[in-house]
Amino acid sequence: MGLRYFWARRAVATAAAAVFVLGVAGCAVLRGGISSAQDVASITVTSSEFRAGGKLPREYSCEGTKGSPPLRWSSQPLPRAKTFAIVVDDSSSSDPAVHWVIYNIDRRTTELGPGVSEDPPDGWTAMQAVLPGGKGKPGYVPPCPKSDGKPGNYRFSVYALRDEVKVSEGAPLSEILQKIADLTIARGRLTAVDIE
């Protein structure tokens, strides 16, 4: 029981730190020279599978088989944007968790198809973080319905970055998320409430 307890506590601590960093990236003040919300441009994020405030389709949860859902984003012209990053987290207070972090997406990309986390296209150079619950593999860790019956709050956030995220192989999740926060010049979010 001791080892299982240790890993459970570590996963909760990592998720809590990640949600804190994400909260900083979404609030008025960002570290790394971005002084206020007015300095950060807005990105529109959509999906062909669910709408803002709607439910995440079950096939993109731990009970499905499709992996990551399709996402599309658009923004005003951002000549300073070098890459994009996507962070999927559950910000519900009862069970915060990070479900996907993908970064160094080519700046010409404005859409990801379904299941890209498991089956990236040829020539793909983006990186995916290893997450708690990911069994040591990088990629999308699909959310599960809450055991307490309360709804999740699944945020699909897209960040335009002024540079590549440069981290060493095996860098901790908190370091990757902080780099994303430090480099953000534009952001947008699509939120699904609960799972169908």
Is 25 a residue whose pLDDT tops 50? no
CB 144, CB 61: distance < 8 Å: yes
Which one is predicted more confidently, 89 or 21?
89
Residue 39 has pLDDT above 80, yes or no: no
pLDDT of 7: 37
Amino acid identity at 187: R
pLDDT band of residue 34 (cuts 50, 70, 90) is very low
Can you give the C-alpha Rg of the chain in angstroms?
16
**pLDDT at residue number 6:** 35
Listed range (47-56, 138-147, 179-188) with the worst mean pLDDT: 138-147
Catalogue all structural domains in the chain, each as residue range(s) with its CATH number. Answer: 2-193 (3.90.280.10)
Write down the pLDDT at residue 123.
80
Picking from 194, 161, 168, the residue whose alpha carbon sits closest to that of residue 58 is: 194
Per-residue pLDDT tens over the stretch 115-153: 999 988 888 889 999 998 888 889 999 999 888 888 899
State the average pLDDT over residues 63-88: 91
Residue 186: closest CA among 99, 80, 111: 80
What are the start-end ranges of the H helices in the chain?
2-26, 173-183
Lowest mean pLDDT among 22-36, 84-98, 141-155: 22-36
Task: Tell me the three state secondary structure of residue 39.
Answer: helix
